[in-house]
Structure 1
Amino acid sequence: MDKVRLALMMLILLGSIFANKNLAVADASKQLENLKLKQVRNQTASKTPVLLGLYAPDYLGNQSTIDSQLRQVDQWVGKRHSIAGLFLDIEDSNPAYNIPVPLEQLKHNGYTAFINLKSTRSAAQIARGDVDSSLQKVAKAYADWAKKGEGRMAFIAPLQEMNIPGEAYSQDPQNFKLAYQRIQKIFKEAGISSQAIRWVFAPNGWSKKNEHRFENYYPGDKSVDVVAFSSYNWGYCSNSSWKHWNSPKEVFEPYIKRMKVMAGSKPIFIAQTASTSNTQNGLQKGAKDRWLQDSYTQLAGMGVRAILYFNINKECDWAINSNSGKSAGYKDAVNNPAFGYLSPTELAKKI
């Protein structure tokens, strides 16, 4: 009996040793696989240029707008922009036209759309389904366009700049997250492939109170493909409530660092940026030029994947052709070799 018991104990011991060895081998294999995957991603990222983007003041469904407000800028700076920013209201009167037409025109001309999906409704109203019927029309229009295939893809940023005052949906973290997820759910129900859309979390960088720091609005890694933020140099613009010439470091660095902590695995875009030429000593085009040069040089080395310039004179003289003449600073800034172009098909594969 003792011999049998001893033999059984030896078998159990040997089984445990082999099991542990197998587990160790499996763990090592998994670690090696993860390391290789990380290396592939890093190699892919290192081969991907920092992308340039522009917002245009007029309707991008018109070829004349694309020619004069995108392609002419490309020709002037000697480098192509990959992304075109635009705004679309959830309750747009004709999404069946106002989604596929500009998206198709942009794709035909070699640009990928970055859609800020805005609303005049509160985050709570969107979260509880008050605009579901409008969202379903938007989602269907996007699905019909995307289902044509051939790498059709756009970036969609629901309820941009939600963490600062100014919009009906502003400053409601909990309902923003619910609204964001409801929008995604409706798009998924429309049959849109995950390959045909990149969901963007696009707050403002700065917020007045800690409770509205963008981290409090983040819907989570599973709901987001790209993280982005808006940040401007308002300088001494008449519409600025706080007069101060902001250096590129002030405008970008703290928010990039925070986004890397919040969502370290996600690509970072500058969703909107621009500078005024209004300084403490009046309009100075040279100051804006230097700001642009310094900003793009700094951003090229900070790990961002795209920069979209708000080329529209709205609150301030943001446009690069403001105040008599185009900004040589912008032209110089984007000719940094770190910036490059990806076609819509290439971009869909890379990001």
Structure 2
Amino acid sequence: MRRRSLLGLPLLAGAAAGCETYRSNDAVPPVVSHPPPSASAPSGSAAPVTSGGGPVPLEPGKVMLGAYVDLKGRSANAGIDLRRRQLGRAERIVHRYYSFTDQLPVSLAYVSSKSTLMISWRGPEYKDVNGGGSDKLIARAAKRMAQRKKPTLMRWAWDMNRDFYKWGGPANNGDTKGYIQAFQRIHRIFREEGADNVAWVWSPNWNSRPDEDWNTYANYYPGDEYVDWAGVSGFAQTQSPGDMFDAFYETYAARKPIMISEVSAVDRGGSTKPDWIASYAEWIKAHPAVGASVWFDTDTHPSSRENWRIDSTAATLAAYKAMSNDPLFAG
């Protein structure tokens, strides 16, 4: 299922809502200065993890660069093949979206042997999981994942700290504990069905809406034993990468490998988008617990006029290719 059939538009990560196209000639905010990965951790912060990730392990010194690719006028296979030809490499992570009642894929022809599939699996209301009424559906999904016999990333009920979706805390009477209970229940059923090839990605948005204490992403954390990757999504308007991701990194990098699980930037004219990509690459280099980055590479979202593609302009593609060709990302 394409993301277009999911509820809402959790893309514009700043305070503004809606689907406007943002343009200006403002300079991209600079990356906050950080020490290089080889330097000592700053005072007051713990050293990042150097392992973890479960069935999809963190590779120290490498960042898995992947994308959700959905390009106007092209099938998924054709879009992913275009990116392979443009970048000279396969996507390390192929990201796809499925509804809770969809039959999850045992195999996908466009996921090569060099790629790992990441499934963003839509959630229902918490009561539909926690009451046991979905146990059979969850077990069927788990059995299909076990049949894949390949390491697979599972990103269940993402952006739960925003008011976009029926699986978010705001749509469930602020019941953050209900989210945790549902995540843990699904995790347990997958384990019981032998889906030990699944790596679990817990993935809030970088900023919460509503911005209230009860709705902070930390209140949704299922616990270290249930999370393989701590993921975070963010779509930049005027924010620098550090504005969006520093706090999350500082909170979880000593516990889990970090994934930037959905990311792109608004083109505000001039060189703003390619400059942001260059800043983003530098931010990742300075944060060695980041082991994966997944771009939202599409121009088909029906509620957005923004072109999130990596080739929205020649300069944008050149900036993304430069990141892809960097040895840190080229694995």
What is the TM-score normalised by the length of structure 2? 0.73
What does 1:265-344 align with in structure 2 at a 5 Å threshold?
A: 265-277=255-267, 279=268, 284=269, 286-303=271-288, 304-313=290-299, 314=301, 315=304, 316-322=306-312, 327-341=317-331
2:81 to 71, 76, 85: 71
* Structure (1 or 2) with the greater helix fraction: 1
| Contact 1:285–1:323 (Cα < 8 Å) also in 2 | no
Higher RCO, Cα 8 Å, sep 6+: 2
Q: Which residue of 2 aligns with 1:182?
A: 185
Q: How does 1:142-291 map to 2 (within 5 A)?
A: 142-146=145-149, 152-171=150-169, 172-193=175-196, 196-207=197-208, 208-233=211-236, 235=237, 245-260=238-253, 264-277=254-267, 279=268, 284=269, 286-291=271-276
**For residues 316-346 of structure 1, what are the alpha-carbon distances to aligned partners after superposition, in whole Å with 9 as ceiling and x for unaligned?**
32112236886222112222221122xxxxx
The code of the aligned residue for 1:205 comes to W
Letter in 2 for 1:256: Y
Distance 2:292 2:60 in 1: 14
Which residue is equivalent to 2:92? 82
List gaps (5 residues or longer) in structure 2: 1-47, 170-174
Residues 115-134 of structure 1: pairs in structure 2 closer than 5 A: 115-119=119-123, 121-134=124-137
- Say yes or no: does 1:50 pair with 2:53: no
Q: 2:105 is matched with which residue? A: 99
Aligned length: 267
CA deviations 1:152-192 (Å, max 9, x no partner) are: 11011111111111110101311111110111122122222
Question: Deviation digits for residues 237-278 of structure 1, max 9, x if unmatched?
Answer: xxxxxxxx1122212222211223xxx23111001000110x
Q: CA RMSD in A?
A: 2.7
Partner of 2:45: none
The sequence identity of aligned pairs, in percent, is 23
Structure 1: 5+ residue stretches without partners: 1-37, 147-151, 236-244, 342-351
Structure 1 residues 324 and 338 mapped into 2: Cα distance closer, same or farther (>3 Å)? closer
Aligned-partner SS, 1:165: coil
Asked whether 1:136 is paired with 2:139, we answer yes
Q: TM-score, normalised by structure 1?
A: 0.69
**Preserved CA contact (<8 Å) 2:323 2:329:** no
Q: Is the 8 A contact 1:52 1:80 kept in 2?
A: no
Q: Distance in 1 between matches of 2:240 and 2:195?
A: 41
Moved more, 126-135 or 321-330: 321-330
The amino acid across from 1:162 in the alignment is M
Structure 2 equivalent of residue 13 of structure 1: none
Pair 109,70 (structure 1): closer, same or farther in 2 beyond 3 Å: farther
SS at 1:311 equivalent: strand
Task: After TM superposition, give the deviation of residue 134 of structure 1 in Å.
Answer: 1.9
